[in-house]
Amino acid sequence: MAIEKNVSVIGCGHWGKNLVRNFHALGALYSICDNTPEVAEKFAQDYGVPAMTWDDILADAGVKAVVLASPAPFHYQMAKAALEAGKDVYVEKPICLKDEEAQDLCNIASANDRILMVGHLLHYHPVFIKMKELVLSGELGDVKYVYSNRLSFGKIRREENVLWSFAPHDVSMILGLLKDEMPTSVIATGSAQTHGSIEDIATVHMNFASGVDAHIHVSWINPFKEQKLVVIGDKGMAVFDDREEWANKLIHYPHKLEVTDEVPAIQKADGVAVEVSESEPLKDECSHFLECIDSRNTPRTDGEEGLRVLKVLNMADQAMTA
């Protein structure tokens, strides 16, 4: 794939700086934009590209694609403006904050034949890709339950609660494992400990028509850090533990669970580490966006996938605050 230097990154903050680094390393970085001019100039000098204003980026025919690492409340208006200006768009999670706005972005992208991709990073993690292969191949049998824990001690936010900060990753992975099936019900609870109206801890329970149940537990005031996704099937179980060394990030437990009218029969087996080739998920995600720009193929995490995740987040947020 011949890579053109035609991508502008908007936002050079906590996560945006990593996107700048990767698109530059891939030879695709065209320009930098940040709402703090001094920050934009520093990154522009460091990476040898111009610092541009948002209006100039929209008007510049040399910019074929924009990468939005701006705060979530700005995602809709900025992504809409870019799509309507003829740019392909990569927007960090969540795609935006309202279901109808996400649907509008999907419609605009389709009408203008533009690429719309959402930064659901873990879909590009080689370990999650391998775990998904185990599930879809039937290696684990019929999936019965999926759960995810995303816990840490800090960083505490004030612009969003822990559900919106942490859970998009887990909702996205769970829906992906279940072939994009949407839950029939979503129940959520939250606890605000450091601010009266911003939840620091949240638990989400989802039920699916296929019979699968799932839950997500997120917290940024947990005593230890944990990033774990577990799939339980009737012929095996798999654990993706992103805190482990690479060789042990994915463990397959060939346990078997046979449910009958009598006492369920359980066959326990030793866990086996699954070999997965190592690579940097963010670099792979950025490469995927560039490939989609070049091929015009639909991204793995396109706008429709972002919309499904957003719908679940809004259902959970409404349940949590009801």
Question: Would you list the domain boundaries of the chain?
Answer: 7-122+283-301, 125-281+312-321
Q: Which phi and psi angles does 227 have, rounded to 5°?
A: -135, 90
Q: What is the mean pLDDT of the chain?
A: 95
Residues 87-106 pLDDT 10s = 999 999 999 999 999 999 99
Residues 107-151 pLDDT 10s = 999 999 999 999 999 999 999 999 999 999 999 999 999 999 999
Q: Is residue 207 predicted with pLDDT exceeding 80?
A: yes
Q: Which phi and psi angles does 149 have, rounded to 5°?
A: -120, 125
Looking at CATH, the fold of the domain delimited by 7-122+283-301 is given as Rossmann fold (3.40.50)
Q: pTM score, two decimals?
A: 0.95
Nearest to 320 by CA among 210, 167, 156: 167
Q: Is residue 242 predicted with pLDDT exceeding 70?
A: yes
| Radius of gyration over every alpha carbon of the chain, rounded to an integer in angstroms | 21
> Which residues, other chains included, contact 38 with Cβ-Cβ below 8 Å and sequence gap of 6+?
none
Looking at CATH, the fold of the domain delimited by 125-281+312-321 is given as Dihydrodipicolinate Reductase; domain 2 (3.30.360)
Nearest to 70 by CA among 122, 113, 114, 14: 14
